[in-house]
Structure formats: structure tokens, C-alpha cells
Amino acid sequence: MKKYLSLLMAGVLAVSVLGGCSSAFDDGSSSSAAAGESGGAQTQAGTAAGGETSQAAGGSNGGAATKAAGSNVIHIPEHDEFRTLDCQKDTEFYVVPLNIYDRLVECEVVDGVATIVPSLAESWDISDDGLVYTFHLRSDVTFHNGNQFTADDVVYTVERMMNPATAAVNTDFFSMIKGANDMLEGQADGVEGVKALDDFTVEITLEVPFAPFLANLATPSCSIYNRAATEAAGDQFGIDPAVTVGTGPFKAADWVLNDRVTLVRYDDYFKGPAKIDGVELIQVPDENTQKLMYENGELDIVDLSSSTSQLAYFMGNDAYKDNLVTGPEAGNYFYAFNQDMAPTDDVRVRKAISMAIDRQTILDQMYSGAGHVVNSMLPDGVLGSYEAEEIPYDPDGAKALLAEAGYGDGCDLELYQKTNDPDALAINQVVQSMLSQVGINVTIKQMDEAAYLSERKEGKLGMTRAVWWADFNDPDNFLYTFFTEKNTKVRSLNHKNTDVYQWLEDGRKMVDEDERMELYKKIDMTMVQEEAAVFPLFQMDHVVVVQDWVKGFQIPWNGWTDTSYYNVSIER
């Protein structure tokens, strides 16, 4: 351990200086900046290199601020400039969609469990064969422009997403609807499977049963748009706040590039008006500036899981112990092995690598212990998670396995990553040192993003550190994403278990949830424990620091950085 302790400290500094990584919905071949080793729906924003920042007015006061800027408006820092407010065309920035739009259903924590709850749909029926979903819509919902929400808006939303002219990037969320892919491929003028039965009833028919469908609909990408307003806005929808309307608790009021996006309360919101007047999302790329602004009362909430350089400062300072809000992130850090490349084509080598990595030490030293070691691809809080058998830290056992595999004298291993991922580099350097202790000589290969993604899509990328957060609350989102026959290649795992391929297809069609969960547990145990196709590292805690006057803030079920501020209030 002494030999790599200095590397751990260097890793802490690298993460502190350069910040975390971002993530986005990723089908395995995306070219978005977040789609390399990170995956899943938006969670952590990366450090921006440019943009203007508002500088703090004074120095640190060593504790929670006693004076706030603004009266009843929440001020929140953002690392990066938004690309668009149109969530059909963006995979990374969900804070605006979660506040200005609504979905048919939402996923919320109920009695400590992530649960699908009614939203724009007040109830729904599902046919016995799992193909037809009939949604009964609320009749008291209006868009920000005053238009009443109806079933036609649901039809429009689906067809806009699947219209090739939209150039949407989130089509996978509706692709299971009957006829959706026909429209996307230009073979139909509409989506056959979505119909307005009357003004407040919409019927959605799937191509084949898809058990996670309701959970899927709760994602920000499935936000509902107003046909009249969106068509009238044309290419300005998502760009001009004045014409970007939803049904959510806040309205988009202003967007000043490289400065801020301003949201204001929508007083006619169907759940009742929000407790605050609005939200200001301020561009503050520099994490030390975020700390200073927080301590001066200029920022009300700072996400420390995005501002990783400040995590140790706030967690180690007793003055902030009552200002920290934490919750688990529904995601995993893990290593992925390519089974078409030596030496990781041998399961004994894959298991030896897993046994040679001290995950708890990495978590403690690099991330202030803000999380816990995991032994499954299904993180705590996600439907289907279970208590998996521990993968031991056992360097001697690792050496024995390597010898059994014919590598008693050691072997060479290439570890791949993108050049613009300092967090991966910090971990990889520590793992490089740990593996050297059992005779594995690791070379870290840094590649530009385009080459990295191209190699991965072709199935030719070697061992990589990866991250995946939940898009929706279902084990399908974690297991199907990596272990189907198609996806295992485009993610460069290349496992060959045909039983798993079939089980994953079967799981999507099962109606009995208990049977589904047992099957997903079997798949996870096969891939992680038996075949060591991946090596789970840890599940991080999400840590946010809030001012004394901020009340009601909660970490969302998935631990995303982006969240709704509808239930937040200010009490001075």
C-alpha cells in the first residue's frame, strides 16, 4: 500500500484541480462529450474551460453564509453553458427540463423507495399482454402560454421526437412504441402506436412488451410539449426562452449566454405554485469561485459532487455539518474488460485484476469516503438491486490466478481512456500501481475522444474505467445497456454468453415483476461474479451544501446533479 499511497494523493490533487466528469444518455456509439466512459442520464457536470464568471465580493467566512443575495430566488452555479432548453435535442443538461416541463409520470421517493407516481397522467391502464397503455390525463393543466394540455400534445411530443427533421438525440426513449422507428426512418408520416382517444385519454401501443416502459416515461427526455407553441416557435424553441413553454412549476424567462438562465414561478401550475419566486442558474466554471460565492451568500446551493475540488473542504469543516445534504447516486463506477483481447480474454486474469484492486482505499483517499464499495452492476436504490457476494481484495489470490492462467511471470495490460478525463486518469494511475504489485505491467493509453469512441464502437477498445448512472429506474437500464449481443460489442466488452443475450430479451417482455427481478439478479451474478465481464468499484454519495435559509431540498432518487426546485423554500 505504501508504494501507491503517493499516487493516491496525486490522484486527489488531480481530481481537485480538474473537477469531475459529465455523463449523458448513450447508446454506445454517441459522439457527445459525455458518452465515452461515462453513461446514463445527466448527473455530474464537468469543469468548463471558458465562460464568464461572477466573482465573489469578499473572502471566506469559514462557515455558512449569514447574508444572501436576492430575496426569494434560489441561486445555483453551473459549470457549463447550456446547449439548448429543448430536452429532445440534449442529453446532458436536465435542470431546466425538470423545472419547466412535466412528464406523464414521474419517479419520486415514496417511503424511501423510488416509485412511479402520476403527473400529467392521473392514472393509467395496462393490457394483460403488456402491449397497450391507456393514460387518463388531467384536465386542469395549462402550458405557460395559457393553452390547455390535451392528449394531442402527447401525440405531438412522440411524433416530434421521431420525426427525422427534428434531429432528436433521445429517440430511444420512444423507439419501443409501435411504428416509431418507421417514422424515424422516413417510412411513415406519424407514429402508429400513439393515439388520442379523446381530449384527455391517450393510448400508446408498443411493438413488443417492454416492462420498463413507465419508468422510461419518467425521464426528462419524455417531457411533454405543446403542439401549437412548439410549432409556432420553429427553430427558436429551446433557444428563445419567450417561446419555449412547458407545463412545469417554473417558466424560462431569460437566457444570457455565458452568464445565466433565469426561471420564474408559474403561478398557474396544476400542483400549486412553487414556494420560491424563481431560480437563477449562474455560469461559474471555477470551483473555488463557487466556494467563495457560497460563503458570501451569493449562491444558495452548491453541488459538491460536481465541484469535487471542494468536497473535502466542506465535508471536513464542522461549520458546515448541518448544511450538507447527502443521498446515494443511482450509478456505478466500474472497469470494463474486453474479452476479445489478451490478457483479459481469460476469466482468471479478469478475476485476478479485480482481486488486486483495493477499492476501499481508492474511495477513501480520492473521494473522502463519500460512497461505498459495490459488487453488482445494480446500484442501491435501483429496482432489482440486491446484496451481492463480496469481491475480495486479495493480492495473493490474484497472483495465484495469474499463475494458473499462465502468467506466473506477469503480463502486460493496456488501460484505455480519453485524454479529457482527469478523473479517470487519477484512478487509472493508482490502479496501475496496484496491479504492478501482482505482476501486471499496465500502460495507460490516452486517446482523443473521436478515436476512443470509434475504437469502442468497433469493439476494439481495451480495459476501461467506466461510469453509468440511471436513466430510468429499472435493471434493464444497467444490464441490457452493456450485455446484449449488440451492446456488448459497441461497448467493447465482447462477452459471448448467448444465454444472457436471450435472458435480457426475455426480461423486457415479462409481466410478473418478481420473476423479472429474479432473472435480472441471475444475469448480474453471471456477468459480475461468474464471468467477471466487469468489475464494479463503488457507488458514490451525492453531496450538496445548502445555505441555512434553504429548506426542503432533497437529493433526487437517482442522485442526479439536476433536480426540480418545486419543493424548495427560503426561510430567513
3-state per-residue secondary structure call for 506-523 = HHHHCCCHHHHHHHHHHH
Extended strands (E) in 379-462: 411-418, 440-447
Distance between CA atoms of residues 521 and 515, nearest Å? 10
Across 160-189, b (16+ Cβ under 10 Å) vs e yields bbbbeeeebbbbbbbebbbbbbbbbeeeee
Instruction: Look at residues 463, 408, 389, 399 and name the one whose alpha carbon lies nearest to residue 434.
Output: 399
Phi, psi (deg, nearest 5) at residue 165: -65, -25
Distance between CA atoms of residues 371 and 332, nearest Å? 10
CA angle (13, 18, 19) in 5-degree steps: 100
Which grid cell sits at 217? 416515461
Res. 431 pLDDT band, cuts 50 70 90: very high
Query: 46-60, 62-76, 203-217, 256-270: lowest mean pLDDT where?
Result: 46-60
Distance between CA atoms of residues 439 and 349, nearest Å? 11
Query: 113-117, 356-360, 442-446: lowest mean pLDDT where?
Result: 113-117
pLDDT of residue 54: 33
Res. 51 pLDDT band, cuts 50 70 90: very low
Phi-psi region at 133: left, alpha or beta (left = phi > 0; alpha = psi -120 to 50): beta
Q: Mean pLDDT score of the chain, rounded to an integer?
A: 88
How many CB atoms are located within 10 Å of the residue 509 CB? 14
Query: Side chain identity at 292, as an amino acid letter?
Result: L
* Res. 526: pLDDT tops 50: yes
Instruction: Look at residues 62, 80, 63 and name the one whose alpha carbon lies nearest to residue 20.
Output: 80
Distance between CA atoms of residues 344 and 337, nearest Å? 6
Extended strands (E) in 498-561: 534-546, 550-551
* Res. 24: pLDDT tops 50: no
pLDDT of residue 11: 52
As a whole number, mean pLDDT of residues 265-278 equals: 98
Percent of the chain with pLDDT over 70: 88
pLDDT one-digit tens code per residue, 55-97: 333 333 444 443 334 579 999 999 889 999 999 999 878 999 9
Query: Side chain identity at 351, as an amino acid letter?
Result: K
pLDDT of residue 70: 52
By CB atoms closer than 10 A (0-12, 13-18, 19+), residue 318 is exposed
Helix (H) or strand (E) holding 260: strand 260-265
Query: Side chain identity at 504, as an amino acid letter?
Result: L
DSSP-H helix ranges across 59-114: 97-100
Which DSSP string corresponds to 226-261? -HHHHHHHGGGTTT-GGG---SSSEEEEEEETTTEE
Distance between CA atoms of residues 299 and 283, nearest Å? 11
Helix (H) or strand (E) holding 218: none
Q: What is the CA radius of gyration of the chain?
A: 24
The full length of the chain comes to: 572
215 secondary structure, DSSP code: H
Distance between CA atoms of residues 38 and 424, nearest Å? 10
Query: 28-37, 141-150, 169-178, 425-434: lowest mean pLDDT where?
Result: 28-37
Distance between CA atoms of residues 306 and 469, nearest Å? 14
Rounded to the nearest 10 degrees, how much is the dihedral formed by the CA atoms of 246, 252, 255, 259?
-120
Domains and CATH numbers, the chain: 2-41+332-372+379-540 (3.10.105.10), 73-99+240-257+274-328+542-570 (3.40.190.10), 101-234 (3.90.76.10)
Residues linked to residue 177 through DSSP beta bridges, in sequence order: 206
As a whole number, mean pLDDT of residues 175-184 equals: 97
Peptide bond into 475 cis (omega under 30): no
Bigger pLDDT: 30 or 388? Answer: 388
C-alpha torsion sign, points 485, 129, 216, 525: negative
* Res. 292: pLDDT tops 50: yes
Query: Side chain identity at 421, as an amino acid letter?
Result: D
| pTM listed for this prediction | 0.81
